Amino acid sequence: MKGEGDKMRKKYTSAVIICLVMFFIVSQGLAEAKRYGLGTMATPEQIAGWDIDIRPDGQGLPPGEGTFEEGEAIFLERCASCHGEFGEAFGRYPVLVGGEESLTSQDPVKTIGSYWPYATTVFDYVRRAMPFGAAQTLTDDETYAVTAFLLNMNDIIEEDFVLNQDNLPTIQMPNHDGFIVDGRPDVPTGEPCMKDCKESVKIIGKARQLDVTPEADRATTVAALVLGAEAEQVSRGQDTFNQCRACHTLTPGEHKVGPSLHGVFGRKAGALADFPRYSAAMQQSEVVWDDAGVGT
């Protein structure tokens, strides 16, 4: 019996030792798994470089200020080659101005003035992503100035308004109440389909291939036209156009008493198919809206 007991104790002791060894090995493995040896801790400066979002209440806005006049000069030099001198845009680049009361129409024009709910979004987007091809090259003061220019062009602030980090969040946008909270969950719910499921989606084309994405060289092509005009001439033209706003817009397809002037240069007079109020004389004229035609 004594021999049998010794054997049992030896087996038990061996089993305990094996368990302890296995526990040690697994523990070491888990400890090692936590040390990947990849990357480095982000520095405060690196974190600050990524932490640039601006919230609707103004949180995140940097100190600084800018005016319409300062922003106009920057916009003409850095932005107008894509967005046009008055925010009317070239080609498929976004229209930035106009579109008032168009959101309920069959062809809504979503601009800063007609669609965006928060003024701080203008600063956030301009600082984050503009100018196209040279993002984050504007100073904070320059960004405030461009924001002031765009808000003024949409008749939201006056020309003498000095925009800064304190008053920007207080500006009420026309479409501030035009959004509702989407209460749907942000992840799929329910059981995944296991049988009789829809066939997989086949991608047949990309946005660039379908010719809806502006080409980068478009800005270079148009830039010469904008840079060819002196800032003083453009400013005088803008002041003159303010007298035309009562009857005309620069928004595509948006007409008032007179037709939209979007893309008017090079167009034959009386040629907009969706404007119904041309006079017979205008429709029959041979006028083309070039430098000579506009001058008459």
pLDDT digits (tens, 9 = 90+) for 210-227: 555 555 555 555 555 555
Domain spans, the chain: 53-176+204-254, 264-296
- Mean residue pLDDT of the chain comes to 82
What helix, strand, coil percent values describe the chain, rounded to 5? 40, 5, 60
pLDDT digits (tens, 9 = 90+) for 139-176: 999 999 999 999 999 999 999 999 999 999 999 999 99
pLDDT score, position 122: 98
Residue 14's pLDDT band (cuts 50, 70, 90): low
Q: Which of 25-39, 96-110, 270-284 has the highest mean pLDDT?
A: 96-110
Residues 144/123, Cβ–Cβ less than 8 Å = yes
pTM of the predicted model as reported, rounded to 2 decimal places: 0.56
Name which of 72, 79, 67, 52 is nearest 167 in CA terms: 67
Helices (H) and strands (E) in the chain, counts: 10, 2
pLDDT digits (tens, 9 = 90+) for 275-288: 877 776 677 777 77
pLDDT digits (tens, 9 = 90+) for 127-136: 999 998 899 9
Helix (H, G, I), strand (E, B) or coil at 268: strand
Q: Region 234-256: what's the mean pLDDT?
A: 77
What architecture is domain 53-176+204-254? Answer: Orthogonal Bundle (1.10)
Q: Is the pLDDT of residue 4 over 80?
A: no
